[in-house]
Amino acid sequence: MIRVGLIGAGFMGTMHSSVYSFLPNVKVAAVCDLDREKAEKIAQQQGAKVYTDPDALLADSSLKLDLVDICLPTFLHAEYACKAAASGLNVLCEKPFALDLQSVDKIISAVDEAKVKLMVGQCVRFWPEYQVLKQVATEGRFGEIQGAWFSRLSPLPTWGWENWLLDPARSGGAAFDMHIHDTDFILYLLGKPQAVFSTAIEDQYGLSHISTQYLYDKLMVTAEAGWNYPAKFPFQAKFRVVFQEAVLALEERGLIVYPGDGADPYSIEIKKDTSESSAAGGNISDLGGYYNEIKYYLDCLEKGESPKVVTAQSARESVAVTLAEIESAKSGKIVSIS
């Protein structure tokens, strides 16, 4: 049984708690949030102890924790990931890793020194439709990729604690909060580009819409993300990938293959897991990639293996490329990726 201390009981802390409700090999032993009511709500469902100070949770050895799950606002990731590692605990840290490479490197050093296992929640690598895309590309089912387009759009995120998401110094704006999902997946799918060229819309919330061309030798790759859409615009994440023999597209109606020989388009069904949990208030499929992500990490811990789908270095690279994209948008220049 893996014993978890969950720090941050907001939107993502609640999501992670729902995932834990479905997993038999985990016990949420402690929940911490500055806002006691939020921590209590999750703690009641999980039978966990409540904290309002993360340091107190980390100092309580009677909890016998194996893992700290950090669902705090992004600017706090480095402080508490380092403290958790220094306490000898494995760390699951929500994405993005951190907002600058110094903070990322501090976390990596702390984790290496303590010899604990870290995973950053780059959840798109675990999202069913994106998993199919990765598999189809790896198998070469439709030949090689020639070009790809990704998009992620939403209204302004106004739910956060103290509106931290709207403060670019604390969230990194739409580039770090949304766009990094696609940047990370592009690196996973296609490797590192030679350079990036970005344009962006900047407003009082920082870069609230960014569009990037990832410059590869023989590939045409673009991704855009923005949270500057009207309040009634539904969140959407889409892609279109051009293979030699077909186009694979994630559309509103699902994952569709458009064969290159002119045959009728067909959909690829994602198998649903309708197991329910009253504590989670829904079924496993409602949890999308978050279930796959956390299950994978816990399985790695049980086997004593380091996660391979997301590594500290891959999460670091996603931060480095996102920083290059922001630099490009601000300077109007192509920025090389080292």
Please give the DSSP secondary-structure letter assigned to residue 63.
Answer: G
The residue among 97 and 214 lying less far from ligand NAD, judged by its C-beta, is: 97
Exposure string of 22-54, with b = 16+ CB inside 10 Å and e = fewer, is bbeebbbbbbbbbeeebbbbbbebbebbbbeeb
Can you tell me whether residue 4 is helix, strand or coil? strand
Side chain identity at residue 160, one-letter code:
G
Taking the CA atoms of residue 76, residue 80, residue 81 and residue 82 in that order, the dihedral angle to the nearest 10 degrees is 120
Nearest distance in Å: CB 40, ligand NAD: 12
Give residues 21-40 in contact with ligand NAD (rule: CB under 6 A): 32-35, 38
Q: Which is nearer to ligand NAD, 71 or 114 (by Cβ)?
A: 71
Q: Which two tokens stand for residue 249?
A: 């597209």
Tokens of 158: 């106004």
**Minimum gap (Å) between residue 293 Cβ and ligand NAD:** 8
Nearer to ligand NAD, 35 or 327 (CB): 35
Of 206, 205, 183, nearest to 196 by C-alpha is 183
| Cβ-based nearer residue to ligand NAD, 52 or 199 | 52
Scan residues 84-123 and list those touching ligand NAD (CB under 6 A): 94-95, 121, 123
11 contacts ligand NAD (rule: CB under 6 A): yes
Residues 117-156 interacting with ligand NAD (rule: CB under 6 A) = 121, 123
Q: Pick out residues in 170-229 that bind ligand NAD (CB under 6 A).
A: 177
Of 290, 312, 297, the C-alpha closest to 26 is: 297
Q: Is position 314 an interface residue for ligand NAD (rule: CB under 6 A)?
A: no
Q: Which among 4-12, 138-146, 301-309, 317-325 is the span making contact with ligand NAD, rule CB under 6 A?
A: 4-12
Helix (H) or strand (E) holding 242: strand 236-243
Closer of 100 and 245 to ligand NAD (Cβ)? 100
The closest alpha carbon to 286, from 52, 3, 22, belongs to 22
CB of 122 vs ligand NAD, minimal distance in Å: 8
Site string for ligand NAD, 33-72 (x = CB under 6 A): xxx--x---------------x----------------xx
Q: Left, alpha or beta for 328 (phi > 0: left; psi -120 to 50: alpha)? A: alpha
Instruction: Look up residue 224 and give its two tokens.
Output: 């855009």
| Residues at the interface with ligand NAD (CB under 6 A) | 8-13, 32-35, 38, 54, 71-74, 76, 94-95, 121, 123, 159-161, 164, 177
